[in-house]
Structure 1
């Protein structure tokens, strides 16, 4: 599914009555099946754009569309993965994963089949009856990703989903996400503060300016004439092209 941000701007008023200009005149088109990573300094409006694409927020200027239809409210077609897992501690992992389908009115038998498939996909099949507090942070994030995948959205919006994890777990989940994106052909909008992560994961990297945020760099990740995701992450990082893109992206980030 194709996502479009058309001259999106957003201002909000703080509790003290101050007007904050979060995003300014931002236009981006993300074609069907593309994995786009967004980097930029804290407070530059990355999450504001994600909320607009999710339908959680109506911008004060411009708008967003999915396949040409205006985005005005949340939809099962757009799954959101947050920085923190947001799992219900009193429900089992399986029940958490099935929750979106339950809200959509999907029958219990189909919910069980689809959740089993995704729990297997993310490596949590053996922990389906566990409670979230019995899992590590990385496993909880896998459960959140499985919950989104179980609803089979065309678009996945991810707000620094690996930011709070240790380096090893983060690398493992990056590999899981690359595999999932290859298999599923999802359109992915992924926010991160890590330039390396953005280049390893993305088909394309967007860099945003300090507030009011706007896109100041839009660079494709095409390494050695081969689509970046076709390479192993270690091969990718070792390439001269990776270092060149990293320098280009890092130098565009104004803190």
Structure 2
């Protein structure tokens, strides 16, 4: 088995940066009006970094994610992954949406195996990869279940496992926990941090929760109302202050509260 196909293999994350170079986007409504969604934006995200993006609805967060995913060609500027222009979707960049998009006719395990199956990974290898990921997200006992038999939080865990099964170097997440109850959301936040620290993938994470952004991110970007632009680029290095293993209790720490308040103020002032 090649190392690239081993379920626990180290990824190539950290070797390439995500880059936006003057990326802007506008669209025309059915009435013929031009809407400027994103002002020209330049941004570099080092490989392995966890970046959270916050801002009011309609500020262009999802537009930038769609550009990075290769789902949308920007009206201006270019997006790159390393030196490679982003012109379409790629297995190097996985997307987790707010609502789980699992195939109901497949089992949970079948959903997780689907990407590697399409890429020609052998059945034993993709089964091994699926079992490891189901264990990683706490669904090892639900591989034979159908998606509709799972709770919303469990479906989101399964979607994360399905995206990770393709071993993407970048994970793009569009409010993945927004529809979940508070307890499930906190559990999935902890799961995501544990997985990202283990696999060192680059994460671009959109959320409306300032607290979630500061808890998860190495860096928090605040975007202004339309046309969206980055008005705050806030580094978050709480691990060096509070320790690398600190959990949800960090949310009551003065250092956490100070960063949270700066981010919240930037949203209010934008």
**TM-score normalized by the length of structure 2:** 0.91
> Is there any run of 5+ residues in structure 1 with no aligned partner, and where?
none
CA displacement at 1:15 relative to structure 2: 2.3
Report whether the alignment pairs 1:155 with 2:170.
Answer: yes
Report whether the alignment pairs 1:199 with 2:199.
Answer: no
Report whether the alignment pairs 1:119 with 2:134.
Answer: yes
Q: 1:156 to 1:244 in 2, by over 3 A?
A: same
Q: How many angstroms apart in 2 are the aligned matches of 1:46 and 1:69? A: 22
Q: How many angstroms apart in 2 are the aligned matches of 1:161 and 1:41? A: 17
Partner SS, residue 141 of structure 2: helix
Cα pair 1:87 1:144 within 8 Å, conserved: yes
**Superposition RMSD in Å:** 1.3
> What residue number does 1:242 align with?
256
Q: How many angstroms apart in 2 are the aligned matches of 1:151 and 1:112? A: 12
| Alignment partner of 1:81 out of 79, 88, 96 | 96
Q: How many angstroms apart in 2 are the aligned matches of 1:58 and 1:172? A: 35
> What residue number does 2:197 align with?
182
Cα pair 2:61 2:206 within 8 Å, conserved: yes
> What residue number does 2:106 align with?
91
| Alignment partner of 1:106 out of 121, 127, 147 | 121
The number of residue pairs the alignment matches comes to 254
CA displacement at 1:231 relative to structure 2: 4.3
Partner SS, residue 225 of structure 2: coil
Per-residue Cα deviation, 1:28-57 (whole angstroms, up to 9, x for no partner): 110011000000000000000000000000
Q: How many angstroms apart in 2 are the aligned matches of 1:229 and 1:49? A: 32
Q: How many angstroms apart in 1 are the aligned matches of 2:239 and 2:91? A: 37
Partner SS, residue 162 of structure 2: helix
Q: How many angstroms apart in 2 are the aligned matches of 1:69 and 1:236? A: 38
Report whether the alignment pairs 1:210 with 2:257.
Answer: no
Report whether the alignment pairs 1:171 with 2:218.
Answer: no
CA displacement at 1:232 relative to structure 2: 2.0
Per-residue Cα deviation, 1:145-183 (whole angstroms, up to 9, x for no partner): 000111111000000000000000000000000100110
Cα pair 1:224 1:241 within 8 Å, conserved: no
**TM-score normalized by the length of structure 1:** 0.96
Per-residue Cα deviation, 1:179-227 (whole angstroms, up to 9, x for no partner): 001100000000000000000000000000000000000000123744x
Report whether the alignment pairs 1:222 with 2:234.
Answer: no
Q: How many angstroms apart in 1 are the aligned matches of 2:26 and 2:117? A: 35
Partner SS, residue 204 of structure 2: strand
